[in-house]
Structure 1
Amino acid sequence: MRSKKLGTTLFVALLVPLLLALPRVSAQPELQPVTPQLTTLPLTGVDQTAYLALDSGSVGAAANRRPAVLTPTLRTKPFQLLGVTWADPEPRPDLAVSFRARVNGTWSDWQPLESGAADGPDPGSPDLPDGTPQARAVRGGTAPFYVGPADGVQVRVEQVGTPSRPLPRDLRLELIDPGASPADDDGNASDDGNAPDNEADATDDDAGTSPPEDDANAPPANDDPRTPDPDVSPTDAPPADAAVTAAQPRIHSRRAWGADESIRRCCVRYLDTIKVAFVHHTATSNGYSRSQVPKILRAIYAYHVKSRGWSDIGYNFLVDRFGRIWEGRAGGITKPVQGAHTGGFNSADSFGIAAIGTYQNRAPSSQLTQAIQRLIAWKLGLHFRNPEGSAVLVSAGGSTTKYKRGTRVTFHAIAGHLDAGRTGCPGRKLYARLPVIQAGVRQLMGAALWNPSVSASYLAPGGRLEIRAGVLTEQNWEVKIHRDSPDNAPVRTFSGRATPDRGTRAIRAVWDGRLEDGHPAPSGTYWITIDSWGGDRSARPYVAKIQVP
């Protein structure tokens, strides 16, 4: 009996260290949609007790004029984000809106809300009910502000400028509780964003989607009229292991931040291509934690949809101060989805990136700017754009842009919201970083092609086709003509060495409709491909289809 007991003791003594050495496996919190809760309160009149306290300075804000609206200190349901909206959808920069909130039992200082925001849908947008710009279901509003868990608020509205306009109709305070999800604190939502560039947290229907062909008629930026040296020498094939430039960065999906797809309405509209990246800031607070970001996204989503009346969150992508990129508007991260971020130019082949925070007086973190660089490099690369070039967009008009409907406006390929609208967005400090972002995008894009084109989609008898493209770095190139499929062996090949100083003529080949042996090409469908590479990096190939009669 003694020996049996001793044997059992020895077995347990040996087993315990082994069990302790095994890796601990914790259950992965399930990603589930979270429905934000909205509380609306009417804003009317001036509370006299609050006004006297304001005059005495006891609330910490000097009153240099009588406010048009001043609430008492209100005890409310729990909320984390707030904004003020009104019936008319146009921005009201003549309103000075401020608030203070009760957070963890303590009243904050007075904080301003941006009331002249120039974001929102274009006239005729699917964001508008029935697609009509007259629809009043879309409301004007301030930028939202994330305060964290709060249960009290006080709001003050002043009219600035002379003469003062009437107050907008139906002023409302919007309080949003984004709810909570176990996944908010999970690694999927709070990792450091340093996944490999080819790893993307995207939904399955986003994967493998090809972007539309580039618009060959887009006005070329920085085109150099000089023709290339015709005495180019043949080049070697690109290295088999050459990396395609500006691969897709890691992008956290809508599911990762708990988007409730049931509150999204209407439809997704796709653009023809992407020509311009508009950079924004959300004009919300800067001191958020990693785990608060999904809550901020859910709250902004609810504010745009439930409070402002849009069909979805306005931005295509959002980037936090930790360098993580988040999917915004639904429709597919690889696709040119029309957003509601830059009034007048949402429908004009652009996409919007919002930096979470306010960057008027505070510089963005290096992680944030580098994430914007990765995102823009990938997105412009999908559509063969020169990050240092420009594009002409046509304004759709509306009250949120400074350009009348039909105005042709030239924008840098990487522009700030204030370039298009009556706004200070993306803030003075972030706007000043756009040249640095542009330089970083160019470096990431490396051997990329820009504005590739074929002069026609039909080769007339005795005619010629001109194939052109610009490059960002010196590199080798090949233009190949394939019959029936781009996967077939080429029937004609051109090659050369391209330099950036030749504009869209850096790569230039002219096909006279003849095969390699000099015979005329038989009638049928042909595919033209452009491949280029420099060092160990290769450009994303360009492919175009033509007909030979």
Structure 2
Amino acid sequence: MRTIVGGAAALVLAVGGVVLPVASLPVPQAHAVVPEFDAVELDGIDAEAVADATALVPAEESADVDAPAAQPEDVPPSDVESVTPEVARAATDEIDAEGTLAALSPLTFTGDFVVAGVTWDDADEDVVEVAVRVHEDGGWSEWSALEVDSLDVDGERGGTQPIVTGGADGVQARVVTRSGDVPTGLRVDVIDPGTSAADALAEPGPASSASAATADVLRPRIVTRAQWGADESRGGAWPEVSADLRAMYVHHTAGSNSYSTKDSAAIVRGIYAYHTGSRDWPDIGYQFLVDKGGTIFQGRRDAIHDLPIGAQAGGYNTQTIGVSAIGNYETAAPSSAMLSSIERLLGWKAYEHGLDPTGRTTLLTGGSTGSNTRAPAGTRVSVNVIQGHRDTNGTACPGRYLYAKLPAIRSEAKRLAHNANSFYGGARPALGTPAKVAVATGQAPAARSGSTTYAWRSVSGAVGYQVLHRVASYSQPMPDARAWNVLKVVKGTSVTVPTSAGYTRLVAVRAIDSSGRLGPVLTHTQSTRPVPASAMRTSGFTAASSSAYYWGRSLRATSTSARLTVSSVRDARQVFVVASTGPTSGRLAVYAGSQRVGIVDLRSTQTVRRQYLTIALPRAYSGTFSFRPLDSGAPVGISAVAFPRTPGRTTAGQAGLLSSPTFRAPTASSAPVRYTSTTNYYWNAVPGATSYDLFVRRASHGGAYAATWTSLGSTTSTKFSLPTTHPGGTWIFGVRARNALGVTKATPAVPMSVPVAFEAMKRSAGWTVHENPAVRRGVYTTATSAGRSLTVTGAKDVSRVQLMVATCGACGRLAVYVDGERVGTVSTSTRTNTLDTILEVRLPRTMSGTVVVRTLDARPTRVVAIATPRR
């Protein structure tokens, strides 16, 4: 790995608290550097490491501290009874719940590295504590606790915040999980960010020379991504931006304070590499970083001019930004230079967005997995406009010494913003707001074609326009008004956007100038496309095909008993029907649930195959819509239906109609069979929900599922740990959302099964039973000749057969039969010896009957368990 060389600190010229424009020579751009990664695998508890008396010493930074600054606001009461003591003991929902040491690595020497972090495959694993120590300056550091965090982005690896070193060459890590199981893919990533020829010259660009009308009069000097050597081929732009700014977080990176400021650009590159390479995030997690010399670094793409949603405080990343102080300020005091830069940075953003740095605001608690929020998901909390990470989350961040400086930071940031307000007046946008050009007839509120063109008037000074949107299918709630997704940036004054069947899209636009500054958002138009033909369920209708019809077909009926239904519609305010009209056509009644909301009259003097008709609803409705002929013998023909919805501000957390919870997908190692005594379930927070009701349906091996759900009580969390110990049993866990206005339907998770009891594996002659506490179930059976069988009777609705086996280089093969049919073969021969490898045979169809596992070789074969998961 490579040795880091340094750079220089920044200089800012300020008078009276307002930054003045200054001349500056061009700053060399750091070339992008490919970082080097090394990985230390963690596959369990190293025997020599655990014998070390220092191996289990508590970490410096507590995983939780008492800092109840976030105060929950009033929320609608729930009429659900509290969880029973038995369920409460089973539901290890709190981050500080007792866990079991799962992994401890030996003292491992690596090449030189600057940034490290611990990661694993599944972001939903039940990791409750991670600590590391590093070898630096010839000795081993104290243990440092690393916060577990998650962004809930697609493809994300589970992991911790990074730890920064001054140039370490060794690492040791320990991991505690609730179950004691080792997460799949658990490892320590150590990163050498490499060197750049421009590091020695990297310094912030000049303060803005923009007109005094904009917030840039307070903008401090910032080292841009180009200047610190960001490799823009890594990851990509963050897709979501906050619609407004309400609060600003102060964070720290943890780790060493012994780094040199000349190495700060390389440290930032190392954090960027960890977030994009080890965590698989699209970008670095912080909007800004500040080193102990006071140099401010741009973090996220577009963070200087926009509000890309960050990773500064899980559960509160929307409507906030974060500045991360490089170093560990639980163990050392921040420098005056660092504090001054944080004050200037936050004062600038407070002035730009009209915030009172000493005031308070309200945030909505999200459901980010692993974020250890102090309030339940969906709760609105009152917080300081400038606050520490620990104020809303169970962490010591930003460290006690930096946290103690927050009152002074707030006061100075307010002084800077107040001085700017007094001298210049309120901050004005750099650009004007685009003027809307109405969309073509037939494109809103329901879109008659697959794409819509949105246009606007040009804005003086603009070189481009950022197009934003919120989009959801007919069965999903619209994203709330706290954020936008960036759709694209265009140079012209129009954009054509295709919309998928059944989706609603709200489009907005704002101008961009040559410096990247953004004007105010113009909320343009919301448009809804008809649902796909497959969503229209019929009884008593027949289909006629023709390109003249929408979707190429018309659903026709003449009987008043015929029904056409569309289920799971969300927040509809109109019903839009594409139908055939003519002299012999009849009428069509439209129902929202059991209530008739209108009649569509298809009688006309002329025959039209695509007539567009609309019914306005008295209120927003979610549920099933049905269409029923009213006139016996008079034909009705429907080719498409759409459900334009409530425009604009569907805000998460409002009491009102709820969407059903959606589960996060389990990992391959945790479904559909569990080999441990508990199963952890995670679901996404439902906007507006105040609690979640928990249920289960069970089936014994070979038996039928229970006809009804069994209640497990309720929780305010978005995760639950269910005891799962009945041998051979299968269960379906369910959850529904609740608030003061009602409950949703229960959402079922995927069925989970436990291997059959060891005694239920009927053994032919030639098997020997062994007891071994190192084996997961404590017992296994061995055969050394071909034709030896293990039989499990009574399998029901089996979709696959799973075997837990021991593997070795000389081990044999096993054939698997279900109901007399051979369905697969597995080999237990591998290069490495294991005690509990899981092998699986997927069946060609759902099958029931007797499962037989038979040896094929005169080679040792060891079977620990057989599982027959059902659909």
- TM-score scaled to structure 2, two decimals? 0.38
Change (3 A) 1:322 1:78: closer
How much has 1:68 moved relative to structure 2? Answer: 4.3
Residue of structure 1 equivalent to 2:800? none
How much has 1:165 moved relative to structure 2? Answer: 4.4
How much has 1:354 moved relative to structure 2? Answer: 0.5
Secondary structure in 2 matching 1:376? helix
Q: Residues of 1 paired with 2:399 and 2:58: CA distance?
A: 25
Residue of structure 2 equivalent to 1:83? 117
Residue from 391, 411, 414 that aligns with 1:439: 411
- Is the CA contact 2:228–2:269 (under 8 Å) kept in the aligned structure 1? yes
Aligned residue type for 1:45: G
Q: Residues of 1 paired with 2:342 and 2:27: CA distance?
A: 29
Change (3 A) 1:246 1:281: farther
Q: Residues of 2 paired with 1:60 and 1:116: CA distance?
A: 17
Q: Residues of 2 paired with 1:312 and 1:243: CA distance?
A: 28
Residue of structure 1 equivalent to 2:402? 430
Residue of structure 1 equivalent to 2:340? 370
Residues 327-357 of structure 1, C-alpha deviations (whole Å, 9 max, x = no match): 000024021221122111112x111111111
- Alignment size in residue pairs: 367
How much has 1:75 moved relative to structure 2? Answer: 4.0
Residue of structure 2 equivalent to 1:538? none
Change (3 A) 1:102 1:110: closer
How much has 1:409 moved relative to structure 2? Answer: 1.4
Residue from 119, 124, 129 that aligns with 1:95: 129
State yes or no: 1:279 paired with 2:250: yes
- Is the CA contact 2:159–2:279 (under 8 Å) kept in the aligned structure 1? yes
Residue of structure 2 equivalent to 1:331? 302
Between structures 1 and 2, the one with greater helix share:
1
How much has 1:267 moved relative to structure 2? Answer: 4.0
State yes or no: 1:45 paired with 2:57: no
How much has 1:406 moved relative to structure 2? Answer: 2.4
- Is the CA contact 2:131–2:144 (under 8 Å) kept in the aligned structure 1? yes
Residue of structure 2 equivalent to 1:145? 163
Q: Residues of 2 paired with 1:443 and 1:196: CA distance?
A: 22
Q: Any residues of structure 2 matched to 1:104-143 within 5 Å, and which?
A: 106=138, 108-118=139-149, 120-121=150-151, 123=152, 128-129=153-154, 137-143=155-161
- Is the CA contact 1:286–1:357 (under 8 Å) kept in the aligned structure 2? yes
- Is the CA contact 2:102–2:180 (under 8 Å) kept in the aligned structure 1? no
Change (3 A) 1:158 1:35: closer
Residue of structure 1 equivalent to 2:316? 345
Secondary structure in 2 matching 1:182? coil
Q: Any residues of structure 2 matched to 1:276-425 within 5 Å, and which?
A: 276-347=247-318, 349-399=319-369, 400=371, 401-425=373-397
Residue of structure 1 equivalent to 2:172? 155
Identity %: 35
Change (3 A) 1:363 1:383: same
- Is the CA contact 2:115–2:270 (under 8 Å) kept in the aligned structure 1? yes
List alignment gaps of at least 5 residues for structure 2: 1-24, 60-98, 434-458, 461-518, 523-871
How much has 1:90 moved relative to structure 2? Answer: 5.2
State yes or no: 1:172 paired with 2:191: no
Q: Residues of 2 paired with 1:60 and 1:393: CA distance?
A: 37
Q: Any residues of structure 2 matched to 1:453-492 within 5 Å, and which?
A: none
- Is the CA contact 1:359–1:429 (under 8 Å) kept in the aligned structure 2? yes
Residues 347-372 of structure 1, C-alpha deviations (whole Å, 9 max, x = no match): 2x111111111111322111111111
Aligned residue type for 1:71: S
Q: Residues of 2 paired with 1:372 and 1:27: CA distance?
A: 25
Aligned residue type for 2:174: V
Residue of structure 1 equivalent to 2:439? none
Secondary structure in 1 matching 2:140? coil
Structure 1 vs Structure 2 CA RMSD: 3.8
Q: Residues of 2 paired with 1:313 and 1:388: CA distance?
A: 28
Residue of structure 2 equivalent to 1:223? none
Change (3 A) 1:392 1:450: farther
- TM-score scaled to structure 1, two decimals? 0.59
Aligned residue type for 2:344: R
Q: Residues of 2 paired with 1:329 and 1:303: CA distance?
A: 14
State yes or no: 1:259 paired with 2:230: yes
Secondary structure in 2 matching 1:41? strand
Q: Residues of 2 paired with 1:176 and 1:48: CA distance?
A: 27
- Is the CA contact 2:167–2:259 (under 8 Å) kept in the aligned structure 1? no
How much has 1:51 moved relative to structure 2? Answer: 4.3
Q: Residues of 2 paired with 1:382 and 1:243: CA distance?
A: 8
Aligned residue type for 1:361: T
Secondary structure in 2 matching 1:270? strand
- Is the CA contact 2:245–2:353 (under 8 Å) kept in the aligned structure 1? yes
Aligned residue type for 2:320: S
How much has 1:168 moved relative to structure 2? Answer: 3.1
Aligned residue type for 1:155: Q
Q: Residues of 2 paired with 1:333 and 1:287: CA distance?
A: 28
Residue of structure 1 equivalent to 2:717? none
Q: Which has the higher contact order (CA 8 A, sep 6+)?
A: 1
Aligned residue type for 1:113: S
Q: Residues of 2 paired with 1:98 and 1:31: CA distance?
A: 31
How much has 1:421 moved relative to structure 2? Answer: 1.5
Aligned residue type for 1:406: G
Change (3 A) 1:66 1:95: closer
Change (3 A) 1:431 1:75: closer
List alignment gaps of at least 5 residues for structure 1: 1-25, 130-136, 200-206, 209-240, 458-484, 487-541
Secondary structure in 2 matching 1:251? coil
Q: Residues of 2 paired with 1:243 and 1:393: CA distance?
A: 27
Secondary structure in 2 matching 1:256? helix
Secondary structure in 2 matching 1:34? coil
Change (3 A) 1:141 1:86: same
Q: Any residues of structure 2 matched to 1:231-246 within 5 Å, and which?
A: none
Q: Residues of 1 paired with 2:357 and 2:27: CA distance?
A: 40
Between structures 1 and 2, the one with greater strand share:
2
How much has 1:266 moved relative to structure 2? Answer: 5.5
Secondary structure in 2 matching 1:252? coil
- Is the CA contact 2:292–2:338 (under 8 Å) kept in the aligned structure 1? yes
- Is the CA contact 1:253–1:327 (under 8 Å) kept in the aligned structure 2? yes
